[in-house]
Structure 1
Amino acid sequence: MVSFKFIHAADLHLDSQFKGISGLSDNIRAYLRESTFASLERLTELAVRERADFMVISGDVYDAKDASLQAQLRFREALDRLGEHGIGVYVIHGNHDPLDGPRMGTSPKEHVHVFGPEFERVVAYRRQDRRPAAVIGGISYPTAKVTENTSRYFERSKDSSLFHIALLHANVDGDPAHETYSPCTRSDLNAAGYHYWALGHIHKRQILQENPHIVYPGNIQGRSIRETGAKGCYAVQVDEEGNVGLRFHELDTVRWFREELAIGGLESEESFHQMVEARLEAIRRERPGEMSIVRLTVIGRGRLHDRLEEGMAEELLHAFRRQAVQAAEGPGGFRGLVWIESFEIRSGPWIDREALLQEDSFLGELLRYGKRAGQDERIRSELFRGALQPLAANGELRRLLAETGEEERMGWLRRAEEMAVMLLADLGPETEGDKESDAH
Structure 2
Amino acid sequence: MIRFIHTADLHLDSPFKKISAMPKNVVADVRNSIYLSFQQLITVAIKQRVDFVLIVGDIFDQAHQSMKAHMTLIKGFKELQKYNIQVYVSYGNHDYLSCHTFPRNYPKNVHIFEKEKVEQFDYIKAGKVVAKIYGFSYEERVVDTNMVPQYQITEEAPYHIATLHGSLGSITDTSHETYAPFQLQELKQKQFDYWALGHIHTRQVISTNPYVVYPGNIQGRSMKEVGDKGCYLVTYNGYETQLDFIPLHTVTFKKITIEASNMEESTDVYLSLESLVQKNMKDKKKVMIEVTLENTSLKLEEWNRNGQLKEIMTLLNDRFSNEENWVQISVIKLKKQKLPREWYEGKDFLGQLHIAFQQNDKMRTLLDSLWNHPSGRKWLDTISEEELEDWTLEAENMATYLLQVGGEKE
TM-score of the two chains, using structure 1 as the length reference: 0.75
Name the counterpart of 1:191: 189
Name the counterpart of 1:131: 128
Structure 2 distance, partners of 1:68, 1:130, is 39
Q: CA deviation at 1:99?
A: 0.4
The 3-state SS of whatever aligns with 1:300 is strand
The 3-state SS of whatever aligns with 1:294 is strand
The 3-state SS of whatever aligns with 1:171 is coil
Structure 2 distance, partners of 1:144, 1:365, is 47
Judged with a 3 Å threshold, the aligned counterparts in structure 2 of structure 1 residues 318 and 155 are, in CA distance, closer, same or farther, namely same
Residue 292 of structure 1: which of 283, 287, 292 is its match? 287
> Is 1:258–2:255 an aligned residue pair?
yes
Q: CA deviation at 1:322?
A: 2.3
CA contact (8 A) 1:305 1:348 kept: no
Name the counterpart of 1:267: 264
The 3-state SS of whatever aligns with 2:331 is strand
- List aligned pairs for 1:412-431, cutoff 5 A: none
Q: CA deviation at 1:217?
A: 0.4
Name the counterpart of 2:352: none
Structure 1 distance, partners of 2:141, 2:13, is 18
Structure 2 distance, partners of 1:25, 1:304, is 26
Judged with a 3 Å threshold, the aligned counterparts in structure 2 of structure 1 residues 107 and 308 are, in CA distance, closer, same or farther, namely closer
Structure 2 distance, partners of 1:284, 1:20, is 22
The 3-state SS of whatever aligns with 2:306 is helix
> Is 1:342–2:341 an aligned residue pair?
no
Could you report, residue by residue, the CA deviation over 1:58-113 in whole angstroms, capped at 9, with x for unpaired residues?
Answer: 00011111111110110000000001001010010000000001332354532110
Structure 2 distance, partners of 1:83, 1:28, is 33
Structure 2 distance, partners of 1:109, 1:23, is 40
Structure 2 distance, partners of 1:16, 1:131, is 40
Q: CA deviation at 1:24?
A: 2.4
Name the counterpart of 2:386: none
The 3-state SS of whatever aligns with 2:249 is coil
Q: CA deviation at 1:146?
A: 0.9
Larger radius of gyration: 1
Structure 1 distance, partners of 2:137, 2:207, is 23
Name the counterpart of 1:58: 56
- List aligned pairs for 1:321-360, cutoff 5 A: 321-325=317-321, 327=322, 332=323, 335-348=324-337
Name the counterpart of 1:82: 80
Name the counterpart of 1:4: 2
The 3-state SS of whatever aligns with 1:317 is helix
Could you report, residue by residue, the CA deviation over 1:104-157 in whole angstroms, capped at 9, with x for unpaired residues?
Answer: 23545321100022210111134xx35322110000001111111112211112
Structure 2 distance, partners of 1:132, 1:254, is 39
CA contact (8 A) 2:122 2:129 kept: yes
Residue 167 of structure 1: which of 142, 163, 188 is its match? 163
Q: Report how many aligned residue pairs link the two structures.
A: 352
Structure 2 distance, partners of 1:364, 1:63, is 44
Q: Which residue identity is paired with 2:221?
A: R
Structure 2 distance, partners of 1:12, 1:108, is 17
Structure 1 distance, partners of 2:261, 2:68, is 49
Residue 176 of structure 1: which of 173, 178, 189 is its match? 173
CA contact (8 A) 2:23 2:318 kept: no
CA contact (8 A) 2:220 2:249 kept: yes
The 3-state SS of whatever aligns with 1:97 is coil
Judged with a 3 Å threshold, the aligned counterparts in structure 2 of structure 1 residues 271 and 200 are, in CA distance, closer, same or farther, namely same
Structure 2 distance, partners of 1:192, 1:49, is 33
CA contact (8 A) 1:15 1:34 kept: no
Name the counterpart of 1:227: 225
Structure 2 distance, partners of 1:9, 1:164, is 17
Structure 2 distance, partners of 1:22, 1:297, is 21
Structure 2 distance, partners of 1:108, 1:217, is 24
Q: CA deviation at 1:233?
A: 0.2
- Root-mean-square deviation (CA), in Å? 2.7
